[in-house]
Amino acid sequence: MLTRDQIQEHLYSAVISDALDAAGFRDQVLSVSLLPMTGGLCLFGRCRTTEWEDIDFEDPRPYELELKAVDECEEGDVLIAAAGGSRRSGIWGELLSTAARNRGCVGALVDGAVRDVDKMRSMDFTVFAAGLCPRDSLHRQRVIAVDTPVVIGGVTIHRGDFIFADEDGTVVVPEAEMERILGAAWEKVHAENAVRDDIRSGMSATEVFAKHGVL
């Protein structure tokens, strides 16, 4: 089994997507663009899902479920916030990042807006998000479900699935397929290295593809 360091150093979203395609999982790339907001250019981990909604009333139990989700994070988790792309408020920030990291969480993937990016950047906590907003989520947005399947960018994400996000995009790997898919991606990386070497040596793209079957 690959280590986290090997995965983050050598793999990337495109090669994982190719491995998923080859295994018959052709719709695992989020159609929305979630970008790195805090300097970290790669995020990999096990999904802990939260579903959000916009509200227009005073929430009688503010922050209740988002705090529950953070407090129940485990080592290697990525907090997934499915907010439908809403930028009404910054639903994730420095304090939640600090609490989540203390529980072993390695980052957050937010289909919505975040805030406190400078402080999160200084604490080396990787956050991908749809945008930025300085407003507090209090009485504007709230979590309505934790650890239930959520949909972001046309892809259903379950608790326990794995995500890999980088500047090219975000890929979701089903939990039961994780070792097989990442192993195949690792093999393709090495095949691509051989292709690159042959191209640099002077072989044509057609010749290289005929030899390796990889492009």
- Say how far apart CA 35 and CA 52 lie, in whole Å: 19
Worst-scoring range by mean pLDDT, 34-48, 61-75, 99-113, 188-202? 188-202
Share of residues in the chain with pLDDT > 70 (%): 99
pLDDT band, very low/low/confident/very high, at 199 (cuts 50, 70, 90): confident
Tokens of 64: 């209740």
Tokens of 190: 């090495």
- Say how far apart CA 54 and CA 173 lie, in whole Å: 28
> In degrees rounded to 5, what are phi and psi of residue 17?
-60, -40
Query: Which pLDDT score is estimated for 122?
Result: 94
Domain residue ranges of the chain, discontinuous segments joined by +: 29-173, 182-212
Query: Which pLDDT score is estimated for 210?
Result: 79
Q: What's the average model confidence in pLDDT over 42-60?
A: 98
Query: Which pLDDT score is estimated for 215?
Result: 66
Q: What's the average model confidence in pLDDT over 29-48?
A: 96
More confident residue, 158 or 214: 158
Q: Are 146 and 49 in contact (CB under 8 A)?
A: yes
Q: In the beta sheet, which residues pair with residue 163?
A: 45, 172
Q: b or e along 130-145 (b: 16 or more beta carbons within 10 Å of the residue's beta carbon)?
A: bbebeeebeebbbbee
Query: Which pLDDT score is estimated for 68?
Result: 98
Query: Which pLDDT score is estimated for 207?
Result: 82
Mean per-residue pLDDT of the chain: 95
Query: Which pLDDT score is estimated for 176?
Result: 98
Question: 10 pLDDT exceeds 70?
Answer: yes
pLDDT band, very low/low/confident/very high, at 169 (cuts 50, 70, 90): very high
Query: Which pLDDT score is estimated for 190?
Result: 85
CATH architecture of 29-173: 3-Layer(bba) Sandwich (3.50)
Question: Per-residue pLDDT tens for 137-166?
Answer: 999 999 999 999 999 999 999 999 999 999
